[in-house]
Amino acid sequence: MRVFKVFRKYGFVLFLFFLGACADKAEEQAVARVGEQYLYPSDISRMLPPGTGREDSIMLAGDYINKWVKQQLMIEKANENLTPDQKDVTRELEEYRNSLIIYRYKNELVRQRMDTLVTPEQIRDFYEQNRQTFLLDRSIVKAVFIKIPNDLANPSMLKEMVKDDSEEGKIELRDYCMQYAKNFEIALDNWIDFAVLNRNLPESINDPAAFLSRNKTNEMNDANYYYLVHIHDYMLANDLAPLEFVENNIKNLILNRRKIEFLKEIENNIYTEGERQKKFKIYAESE
């Protein structure tokens, strides 16, 4: 666009100006004008990230100028075509300001005063009282997945290694995979989505229930790699999710409910205080 070409033409001069842009616009030469609105180098320099190089600064500034011109032209056109009532945004601005202030005040109250401690007992009680809420919508597993080049694979040794779920065995398996495997996943202490494994297999598994229930150890090959999947444990869609799998979700649910109750109590207390101190009056229709 023409504005960008003009900016590139004088870009080096303006770039140097950005580095020591004047705070006083009276000392600046405008880089763009729309009607009575002017854009100055100092306006542009404020939006450039610190440490931006010369070429990137010129490109970003040129883009900013184009957007600024388009915005000012749109504002000018809107002002020409809207009625005074349509252009009066006083009420909307006041409502937005009030909403923003209330939002920030509530967040500060939550940060300072709300109890954020959630005990294991509270999590377990919530889990037991809302079991139907935590039915799985997908299969999850505790498993080992290894993808290793065919010329490095030792299937019999690997199948023995993945069966060892001791701490020493897991460390040995991880060290081996770090050294030889193209890709691997060792999830024995935490549940993962079966899809994490599925998308790494040479052939996608369309029936996870059949696959998981058939064999604990599954081997696959393609032209270049040997794949080993060992299932230590699994749960299927519609099973009750293990507590450890949904623990963080439950904690968040408890905190969200607590937050709602806390803020409702704050609002009621503020209302009661205002009523007691006669800070407001609700007028009946007859009045």
Judge if 118 and 249 occupy the same domain. yes
Q: What is the pLDDT of residues 77-114, one digit of tens each?
A: 999 999 999 999 999 999 999 999 999 999 999 999 99
Judge if 146 and 221 occupy the same domain. yes
Domain end: 49, 81, 113, which one?
Answer: 81
Judge if 96 and 127 occupy the same domain. yes
DSSP code string of the chain: -HHHHHHHHTHHHHHHHHHT--S-GGGSPPSEEETTEEE-HHHHHTTSPTT--HHHHHHHHHHHHHHHHHHHHHHHHHHHHS-HHHH--HHHHHHHHHHHHHHHHHHHHHHHHS-----HHHHHHHHHHTGGGGB-SS-EEEEEEEEEETTT--HHHHHHHHH--SHHHHHHHHHHHHHH-SEEEEEEEEEEEHHHHHTTSSS--S-HHHHHHH-SEEEEE-SSEEEEEEEEEEE-TTSBPPHHHHHHHHHHHHHHHHHHHHHHHHHHHHHHHHHHTT---PPPTT-
Residue 86 lies in a domain: no
Encoded tokens for 257? 């409910």
How many independent structural domains does the chain possess? 3
Judge if 144 and 190 occupy the same domain. yes
Residue 62 lies in a domain: yes
Q: What is the pLDDT of residues 200-216, one digit of tens each?
A: 999 989 999 999 988 89
Judge if 215 and 169 occupy the same domain. yes
**Range in 4-8, 141-145, 278-282 the model is least confident about:** 4-8
Contact by Cβ (8 Å): 217, 229: yes
Of the candidates 184, 217, 185, 224, the one whose C-alpha atom is nearest the C-alpha of residue 202 is 224
Domain that holds residue 26: 2-81
Q: What is the pLDDT of residues 20-71, one digit of tens each?
A: 445 556 677 888 999 999 998 888 888 888 877 878 888 888 899 999 999 9
Judge if 14 and 52 occupy the same domain. yes
Judge if 114 and 192 occupy the same domain. no
Reported pTM: 0.71
Residue 116 lies in a domain: yes
The domain that holds 150 is classified in CATH as 3.10.50
Judge if 20 and 162 occupy the same domain. no
Domain end: 215, 235, 255, which one?
Answer: 235
Residue 51 lies in a domain: yes
Q: How many CA atoms lie within 13 A of 50 on its CB side?
A: 0
Burial of 158 (0-12, 13-18, 19+ CB in 10 A): buried
Residue 87 lies in a domain: no
Judge if 268 and 126 occupy the same domain. yes
